[in-house]
Amino acid sequence: MKKIKNVLFALLIILLGCQCRDAGGQPATQAAPAPPQPQAATPQPPPQPTYNVVKMADGHEMVKVPAGEFKRGNDTGEPDEKPVKTITLSEFLIDRYEVSNANYELCVAAKKCKRITPKDGFDAPDQPAYGLSWDMARAYCAWAGERLPTEAEWEKAARGTDGRRYPWGNDPPTPDYATFGITTTTPVTSNPKGVSPYGAFNMAGNISEWVQDWYQKDYFASSPQTNPRGPKSGEYRVIRGGNYMNSLDHVRADYRVWERPDYAMPGYGVRCAK
């Protein structure tokens, strides 16, 4: 009996020894734990531009355009857009949005502005004031405690400092960026993708905007390089920015149009400066 027990004990030892070896006769080892898998990085949205927006006493918003240089004009454009020049401006504010029908009606109610009657499709409170002459545009800005922007101020506010073709850059306009080539205007808060480098909306298309300056075809060649204010006199005033009816070439930030100051064209409106 004792001999049988010894044999069984020896077999048990052999079995235990086999379990400690692998198939090749080597001592078994535990598999190393798998390294932790790196987690996929969560894509971060691109940083949103920040604009220097100033809320005025009556609640409307203006954007601040800092002092400094910008490139004005277009050497491949129309003759009156040449030559490209570096212009230096002082700091100024410009309306973030075009003056709306609701804004303009407040001036009418105060008996400081001439009443306009926009036709159907142009008369919503948040659509731009429609059919203004230069005289009417100036009267509105004066009532608001502001003024018309100079042509140079308007162009810098629209295109920034790098000579871009449109407020958003050099890519051609699409309906996501500007209101053009259609039969009516859109709200003054439309087209947020197409804002200017300073955060101003609809500086391309929607409604053309009167500026302060008299028009002179060769003014860009002879103007002062610091705070130009336009010719001292003339027959026509300048309009900038293109409107809902225009082709994509006419909503360029450097495109110039002119008209008599008492002429109220359906596509003409305004934004003010300070």
User: Residue 83 maps to which CATH number?
Assistant: 3.90.1580.10
**CA–CA distance, 266 with 10 (Å, rounded to integer):** 110
24 domain-assigned: no
Task: Work out the mean pLDDT of the chain and round it to a whole number.
Answer: 88
pTM of the full structure = 0.83
140 domain-assigned: yes
Q: Which residues contact 221 (CB under 8 A, 6 or more apart)?
A: 82, 83
259 domain-assigned: yes
3-state secondary structure of 131: coil
| Domain count for the chain | 1
Residue ranges making up the domain that contains 256: 53-269
pLDDT of residue 5: 44
131 domain-assigned: yes
**CA–CA distance, 266 with 250 (Å, rounded to integer):** 16
19 domain-assigned: no
| pLDDT confidence tier of residue 269, bands split at 50, 70 and 90 | very high
pLDDT of residue 161: 96
Taking only the tens place, the pLDDT of each residue in 225-241 is 999 999 999 999 999 99
